[in-house]
Structure formats: structure tokens, C-alpha cells
Chain A
Amino acid sequence: MMTEFLPKGLQLPIVATLADKQQESPGIYTLHLALETNSSFDFAFGQFNMLYLFGLGEVPISIMGWQQDLLLHTIRAVGRVTQPLVALDIGAQLGLRGPFGQGWPLHQLEGQDLVFITAGLGCAPVVAAINYAVENRSKYGRIVILQGVKHHNDLLWQPQYERWRDLGDCQVLLAASEEKKRKYHWRLGMVTELLALAQFDANYCAVLMCGPEIMMLAALKQLAKHQVHDKSVYLSLERNFQCGHGSCGHCQLGPYFVCKDGPVFHYPQIKSWFGLAGV
């Protein structure tokens, strides 16, 4: 996938310049980055980069997309690095190492119904895969998009969801868990409750999930009830990534280095480890 992009064992970042910045919701921004490199930046949806802010350090951020020669990263400003990162002015520079890890196996999933289940900012690693599926609509069966947030205002990329809703054979179901009153097109409750309304072929589908693990565990139970086989499920995990390529040891889940073997896993691969307390 990536050839001679970062020499010397991927230790040295390349320079990225902030070309544009969009606020998506309170505290969440999409950075548009121009990369200073002569090589192409090949990546798979679901992979991540390590973004470096001068003097502060690195954070792992999943790749949201690639648009007009710019790399898109959607970031929630919550930490020591991410807060100043999203506060950067246009023209500011940062460092970037990557891409790292395994993405969604979209090519393997052609012909099947695609069910996307996300919650919160979990949609960031998945939204690029949704966009790809939408752009290559004829390659897939039905597309079902289930997204949960606390309040409907937390939903990122609202116009996109509207656009996806209008596509043929594309079902968009949204849930707000802490909303007092139901809004049009919205349901009150958890994203997992939306599965009862989803229309897809349980025998010929792929489920792509990302979000808090407690949500994914609940979704897995619901999926089993809907006769969806484990082998149809892919999920993206989050762990402490420091090196990005399985060297530093922080992101281990049983025998796996999540940064290298994941963050997107085929569920049967990690089933015996996933969701265990303290693992």
C-alpha cells in the first residue's frame, strides 16, 4: 500500500499544512491538510495517522477522507494535543506519520448489503467508507446507516445524512439517547434499538461498526438476535497508540497489536478478547 513514503522506518514525520478547517459540531472540527510530499498518499478507509503538534506530541487520528488533494481528519478537541490542534490557524503546520493499521475490507464486501453502525465521533472512521460505498453504489446491495448520538445537534455531517437518505436503497436511521423530545427523522434511544427497523439481508450483509465498545457489545447482541453471523461483522477499536506500528506495546489486545493488526478487525478474529474487562 505505502511504498517509500516515509523512509527510515517511519520514524520521521512529514510536514502537513492546514489548508482549511470546518467546525462540524461543538468541539469537533475537520482539518484539511496539504501534505508536503512528492509521493502519493495511499491509504485505506479505516486507517489512521499520527498527527504531531510542535512541542506537544502526537495523537492518533483516523483518516476521514481525501478531497481535492487534501487529507481530511475529523478531530474532537478533548485532550492536551487535540485542543490546540483544532485551534490552529489556516496555514499552520503540523507533522504527520502514517497511514497505519488495517482499514475496512471494502473490496471484499462487494455485492453484499452494508450496515454501518456508529455512535458519537465513532462515525469518523466509518464515514469515509460510507462515502466510498455511496460513490460506488452499484457495487453494493442495500446500504443501511445507523448512527447514535446524545443530542441531535451532535450529529456530524448532517447534510450528508440527508443526501444519503435520498439515495436509492439507502436507509438512514438516527437515534438520540438524551434528547427530551423526538425530532423529525429521529428516534429517542440507543443506536442499537434501530436495528429492529433496519432492512437488510442478514445472510448476505457486512456490518461495519465503530464507536464506544459498550455500544458495539450491545450491537453485537442485537445483531445475533437478527441472525447476523459473527463473520459478517467488522469493527474498529481504539487503544493507546504511540508508535503506530506494533512496536511500543501499548495497544495490545490479547495476541494483537491493535495499531498494526487493527484498528479494523474481523469480529471472529477478536471475539474471545473483545469486551473483557481489563484486557
Chain B
Amino acid sequence: MDKGFLPRQQFPELYQALRKAGYEVIGPTVKDGAIVFSPLAGFEQLPLGWQEQVSPGRYQLEQTAGQRCFYWNTGPQALKPWLFKPEQHLWQAEQTTEGLCFRQTPEQAQPRAFIGLRGCDLAALKIHDQHFLNGLFPDPYYQTQRQQLFIIAVNCARSASTCFCVSTGDGPAATFGFDILLDELETGFLVASGSDQGEVIVQQLPLAKAKTKQLSEAKQQLQAATYQQRTMPDEQQLLKLVNRLDHPQWQDVAERCLACGNCTLVCPTCFCSKQESHSDVKGQQAEQVRLWDSCFSEQHSYIVGKVFRPEISQRYRQWLTHKLATWQQQFERSGCVGCGRCISWCPVGIDLVEEAQALLKDEVDDD
């Protein structure tokens, strides 16, 4: 993959090329004290000089004098809410003089270019593609948005203290699934295309040939990002979690867990949803709506007359064993991509990696 160099002052030309090609540009920007993906009116809205300081239960942005736009790792969300929407209108029902009618809610999508996605985000996207597109019935709502997607990935230049993508194998480099790949250096960007449509955009940029020093700098900062504080046990170890359903650690974590579901909302791979029927006051029109749901909700396992997971310990166990172990049987890999969001956005700072390690302690010691 040849890399060209785009000087920082000419970086806005990438925005112009994307707009000219008809894409709405979605990128990271600072909103409500966090990095949030939003439509960008220009690259000046990128989080220039912003870094995040994260730890279990804490996410804090700080402004530095730096000139980098991507010197942060994650916000609470990246792609998930754009493809698998928190509220999706599925279909409408109408009582007409001819009887009951059903109509598919039309799904509009415009070509969108996302800038700033990381290796973990792309790994999560691949998992969601598998779930929503390759299952028994492709999800037409997800599919419509997915087909219009143009992805500009960025290799991480540092790791947040909650990152553990090295141990899940999903970062810090973006290695697949992008149209354009960037490495951000102090003076500009190394740019490479990853697809034909990416190449069309790259061709329009005033790229210089990347110098050996620049390539080396990119390599070094990527290497620096591989030094992470957390290590998730490997997938073979994680499979053993299902042998630990009676471990006292579940009760231990339940005493801390609020069952708020934050971890599932910020998790880029969680896909649970529920359906509701909404109707108008005249009783003539109704709509079926799909909403994000969480296995931490008591209602999640409810059927008439029974809740299968009444205890928080059981719900935390469902989340963790599914995400890390039974997910592997369903999707042939763990559902965790090492982004660390569930750790920093947990209001009481429960650390997924620590919990997994504690549950597997004897197993790990045995090996």
C-alpha cells in the first residue's frame, strides 16, 4: 500500500474532494465534553489539539497546544448509531376502508464519508455486518446505510489507558475495511487508498511522495500505541468462562454494577433491540419501532409469567459470557474489540478486563 504525504495546511482538500464526490462528511468533533461523530461543515470542526484522559468510570477531554486532530482514541460512540440506529421505524400499519394495510417505512440514505475510524471500530463494523447482513434475513435498514458508506480510517498514534485492542487483535492499526487510511504526523498526513473508490478520492489530493523519515515516524507512533496497560485473556481462555457460571465473582461484580446498561450502549458490537408499537390517537395509524435494548434490563428476559434473569449478577454474567465466550460460537470470534469504552463509560468503573481475568484466574494460572 503506497503512502503519499498530505501537508497539514492542505488537509481541507480531502474534505473538499469528499464533498465534491457527493458525500456528507461525518467526523469526530467535540460536543458535550466528549468526542462525538457528527456531520462536519468543514475540517475546522475536527477536535484539533484535543486529547482524552480516561480511566475506569472517567472520561475527560483536555485541550492541548498540539496540532493533531486525531490524537484521541475513542468517544462514547462511533459508527454504531449511524447504521444500527437507536430508534428505527420498521413498518407502518393502517386501518383503511379496505382493511388492514402494512407499509415498509422508507429508508433514505445518502452517501456518507466517515473520517477518523480506528481499527477497533472497523473490527466492530465487520461483526455488525456479519450479524445484520449475513444472518438468515439481511436487515434492510442497516443494509441501506451500509451500502452508502465511505470510510477514512486513522491508525492510532497513542493508546488511551483503557485501550486493550492489541490483546483482542483489533488495533491499534486499521488493517482492513477502509477506503482511505491516514497516519497523522505533526506536519501532515500519510495517505493510502484501500479501495477503488478510495483511490478516486486520493487521486484528487495534492500528495507528495512520503519520505522515509515520515514513514518511520508513523511506524514508531503506531508502535508506541501498542504499549497498553490491559490485556484481555485470549479467546481460548475466554471460552472457559462458560465453565465459571457459579463463580463468586459474579456476585462480587453485581454488588458494584448498577445495571444501567451504559456498557451495552457504548459497546460498538452490542446489537440487542426491542420492538414497540406506537399508534396515533385516532387509532387509524400505527408504527412498529425498533429501539436499542440492553441485557441489563430486567425486561430483557421477560416472558409472560417469568423473568429468566431476575438478578443483576445473572444479567452481568449474561453480558460478559455472551460478549467474550458464547459470541465466539455465534460469530467465530469474541464480541470484544478492545476499545475500552465499557470501562470508561461505566459510572462505577467496572473493568471488563479485570473481571474476565478474575473469573479466569485459576485457568490462567494453570496454563
Contacts and interface: CB of A to CB of B under 8 A. Distances in A.
Contacts of A14: 102
29 contacts: A9-B138, A9-B139, A11-B91, A11-B104, A12-B103, A14-B102, A52-B288, A54-B279, A54-B286, A55-B283, A56-B277, A58-B275, A78-B304, A79-B304, A93-B99, A94-B100, A239-B308, A245-B137, A246-B135, A246-B136, A247-B273, A248-B271, A249-B272, A250-B274, A252-B326, A278-B310, A278-B317, A279-B309, A279-B318
Given A248-B274, A250-B274, A12 B104 contact: yes
Q: Size range of the interface on B? A: 35 or more
Contacts of B304: 78-79, 82
A76 B305 CA distance: 12
Contact of B301 (A58, A79, A250): A250
B91 A252 contact: no
A279 B245 CA distance: 9
Main secondary structure of the interface of B (DSSP, over half): mixed
A109 interface: no
Contacts of B103: 12
Interface string B302-326: 1111001111011001100010001
Interface of B: 90-91, 93, 95, 99-104, 131-132, 135-141, 143, 242, 245, 271-277, 279, 283, 286, 288, 290, 293, 295, 300-305, 308-311, 313-314, 317-318, 322, 326, 329-330
B96 to A, nearest CB: 11
Contacts of A240: 300-303, 308
Nearest to B99: A93
Q: Which of B100, B304, B318, B329 has the most CB of A within 10 A?
A: B100
Contacts of A257: 330
B322 A252 contact: yes
Nearest to B330: A255
Interface string A1-43: 0000000111111110100000000000000000000000000
A191 interface: no
Main secondary structure of the interface of A (DSSP, over half): loop
A216 to B, nearest CB: 14
Contacts of B311: 278
A257 B95 CA distance: 34
Given A52-B93, A254-B242, A278-B318, 10 more contacts: A11-B91, A54-B286, A239-B301, A240-B300, A240-B303, A242-B275, A243-B273, A247-B137, A248-B271, A277-B314
A15 B93 CA distance: 10
Contacts of B301: 239-240, 250
B90 A11 contact: yes
B139 A247 contact: yes
Interface residues of A, number: 42
A278 B317 CA distance: 9
Contact of A95 (B100, B139, B322, B329): B100
Contacts of A78: 304-305
Contact of B308 (A82, A248, A255, A278): A278
- Which 4 pairs from chain A and chain B are nearest by CB? A278-B314, A55-B279, A249-B272, A255-B329
A174 to B, nearest CB: 23
B303 to A, nearest CB: 5
A187 interface: no
Contacts of A110: none
Contacts of A196: none
A248 B272 contact: yes
A8 B95 CA distance: 22
Contacts of B90: 11
A10 B140 CA distance: 9
A248 B95 contact: no
A73 interface: no
A79 B303 CA distance: 10
Given A8-B140, A238-B303, A248-B293, A15 B274 contact: no
A248 B275 contact: yes
